[in-house]
Structure 1
Amino acid sequence: MSPQPPPSSLLVGAYRACEGLPVVGGLFLRGRTEAQAVLSLIVGAVIDELDLATIVRERLDGETIDAVVARIDLVALANQVIDGVDLPGMIRESAAAAVAEVLAGMRIQGYGDDAVSGFVDRIRNRRQGFRDRPR
């Protein structure tokens, strides 16, 4: 008969106690951090390979899925999503971008208007500032 392994909480407690040791604690801490990073990559790769929609369809019938969806308070869910979105901030940012684009277009058009005006003034032999005088 093989000995029973200790419960995982006991092992976790012992490992965390070793992390607090003065000389080797840093090695245990770094080992845990590296193990978490590797496990995170492995779990991410497994989740990427899973087709969760197919798994749900295989394990649950349509009536069960409909019952679960019917129990969801869609209005509360929508309100929660809307509350999480900074709508005034988004409007401010988009309006500021639109205004900046319009102003840039007006400046460019103004440069073109000035160039055409100057060209016409030279052709007609008008002195500079002809357009600036009161009419």
Structure 2
Amino acid sequence: MTDLSGIAKHPLTNVAVGTAITALGVAAETYRVCERLPFVGARLADARSALERRGEEVVANGLEPLKATIAAVAVELVELVLDELDINALVRKRVDLIGLADEVVAGIDLPAIIRESTSTVTADVMSDVRSGGERADDAVAGIVDRILGRDRGSR
């Protein structure tokens, strides 16, 4: 974004503001002269009075309707601008994606996740190994008992 802090001190700003004020003064004086013209003066005065009354009503009723209108126009303007923008290109140009990814990865506690997942897997594997060992032990004991002629029911 452009830094506009020094714009008020720039000589060109003073020239532009001076020109605008002069133009407004000339326009106001021209308008006052036109209101005194025989055919259009009364109509101009009536139009100015109607505009003044409308402005007074808006101020008297509060600025909420005006704010709502400005907000609606602003929303529409933003929508138009967003429709014209290529957000992907803008992000690629303005955002340090590698830095952002590094920050996200740094926020993830990978060792804890690995420990937790492997401890569950390890516990399951150890349980399966123990169960398999017990079944193998029972099978070997059964074979030995048959060879030795032992009765399995007495155990």
Q: TM-score range by the shorter chain?
A: 0.3 to 0.5
Give the alignment's TM-score, normalised by structure 2.
Answer: 0.42
Name the larger-Rg structure: 2
Report which of the two has the higher share of helix: 2
